[in-house]
Amino acid sequence: MTAFRLLEGVLDVLRERTFDRPPALVANAHITGLGVARALSAHDVPVVAVDRVGDGAAPPSKHVDVAGQVTYPLDDRAGFRADLEALATAAGRDLVAFGCMDEWVHALADTDPDGVRLPFSGQETVDAVLDKSSLYRIADDLGVPYPETVPLDGTTVEDAVDRLGLPLVVKPALKREFEEAVGTNVVEVDSVTELREIVTTAETAGVEVMAQQKIDAVPGADHSLASYRGPDGAVLSVVGNARLRNPPAFGTSCLVERATEPVIEERARAVLAETGYHGISEAEFVYCPDREEYLLLDINTRPWKWIDLPVTAGVNLPMAAYAAVTGASYESDGVHDARWLFLPDYLDALATGGRDRLEPADWHALVSGAFEDDPALTTGVYRPSDPEPAYQVLQTALGVREYYCAC
């Protein structure tokens, strides 16, 4: 099991190692970071996982070579840059960085540390995609539909309610700052009073927010384009269908299946091409029964929780991104059907009324561990061949903490 170390401990380990290819730097080091680490390790890429704390799923994985603490970029952007430059110097090789949450992506693009290669677009392009105000303007120009949205910086809450009705959804232009201030990145409000309170909180935090029509989405109909778009415009992609979420309305996906939905491919690729973005991304769409079409919600310019799905389906997006900035080779052997399951959330969803979409044979494969030999089924965290991450998640869920060595 990899120990989670303080920065000096990570530097010591890196100085003792010799790398024949650039190591990957994965930040942060939780479920998404674990998926990226496993995808890269399958191609013998060494992985350095960093975070502000050591209780994520990635550090104990056998697919992580060294894990440790760096300065959190929202606390100290200059300190974050200095830490990453120190890591690159200690490794004696450039690092290839994968930001696995928005704040890490922004920090990497904004600070552009020496000795760190970024397999995605620069700050201006990332901002144009991540900022929903900009994203929806681009969607408007392309005729890509999205939920009716009212910016709240130049509109009264009463006018927003008159236009959108109640309940409605409040979202930030940029997720992470809002989440830090409010505790979540989506808030459903049922009254003018609630809306005014959220707007006041956002204004105090200096966060731009917007009101959005609540879509009575069809459960199990959400789709996303999981893709890597290269600097030359070439795209590797898989459409994922979120069959079950937990909680159902705004929860994270816990069962995702590969799907064929040409309109999702077409619309997502058009937006990405218009922005000029290159890198890994997830373009999220919700199906609106009233309008009878898919509406663009968001594009994440980074890996996300079910990044394992495209890898299992035959499209290793992290390796494609790594290869583009290192000269390594990667080609997909073709796409096939696949499913991704995050077992803790799936079980919780079933316990609260969700419909079981797995067959008895699937449960047998999960319990026996045979699913690891199934090219069409993968899980987030839980793998018998790499058990420590699941143990770490279980400890956290039970309120028990593992105190990693800080040497």
Residue 337 sits in a domain of what CATH number?
3.30.470.20
Determine, yes or no, domain membership for 41. yes
Report the C-alpha gap between 115 and 124 in whole angstroms: 21
Domain that holds residue 370: 222-301+306-341+343-379
Exposed, middle or buried: residue 266 (CB in 10 Å: 0-12, 13-18, 19+)? exposed
Tokens of 363: 């449960």
Residues 208 and 297 in one domain: no
Determine, yes or no, domain membership for 183. yes
Q: What is the CATH number of the domain that holds 209?
A: 3.30.1490.20
The count of other CB atoms within 10 Å of the CB of residue 353 is: 7
Residues 237 and 290 in one domain: yes
Residue type at position 220: G
Exposed, middle or buried: residue 335 (CB in 10 Å: 0-12, 13-18, 19+)? middle
H/E stretch holding 376 reads: none
Report the C-alpha gap between 263 and 192 in whole angstroms: 36
Residues 190 and 233 in one domain: no
Residues 78 and 186 in one domain: no
Residues 197 and 250 in one domain: no
- Give CA angle at 323 (317, 326), nearest 5°: 145
Exposed, middle or buried: residue 351 (CB in 10 Å: 0-12, 13-18, 19+)? exposed
Which parts of 205-290 are beta strand (E)?
A: 209-213, 222-229, 235-246, 252-259, 279-288
CA distances, 71 to each of 10, 57, 75, 89, 205 (Å) = 13, 19, 7, 17, 22
Residue with tokens 């922004």: 106
The predicted pLDDT at position 155 comes to 84
Answer whether residue 393 shows pLDDT above 90: no
Residues 322 and 369 in one domain: yes
Residues 168 and 256 in one domain: no
Determine, yes or no, domain membership for 360. yes
Query: Tens of pLDDT along 239-289?
Result: 999 999 998 877 889 999 999 999 999 999 999 999 999 999 999 999 999
Residues 27 and 107 in one domain: yes
Residues 44 and 77 in one domain: yes
Answer whether residue 138 shows pLDDT above 70: yes
Determine, yes or no, domain membership for 126. no
Its pTM stands at 0.93
H/E stretch holding 42 reads: none
Determine, yes or no, domain membership for 15. yes
Q: What is the CATH number of the domain that holds 68?
A: 3.40.50.720
Residues 55 and 184 in one domain: no
- Give CA angle at 203 (52, 246), nearest 5°: 55
Residues 154 and 274 in one domain: no
Tokens of 98: 């994968």
Determine, yes or no, domain membership for 125. no
Query: Tens of pLDDT along 19-61?
Result: 999 999 999 999 999 999 999 999 999 999 999 999 999 999 9
Residues 226 and 353 in one domain: yes
Determine, yes or no, domain membership for 297. yes
DSSP state of 191: S
The predicted pLDDT at position 5 comes to 97
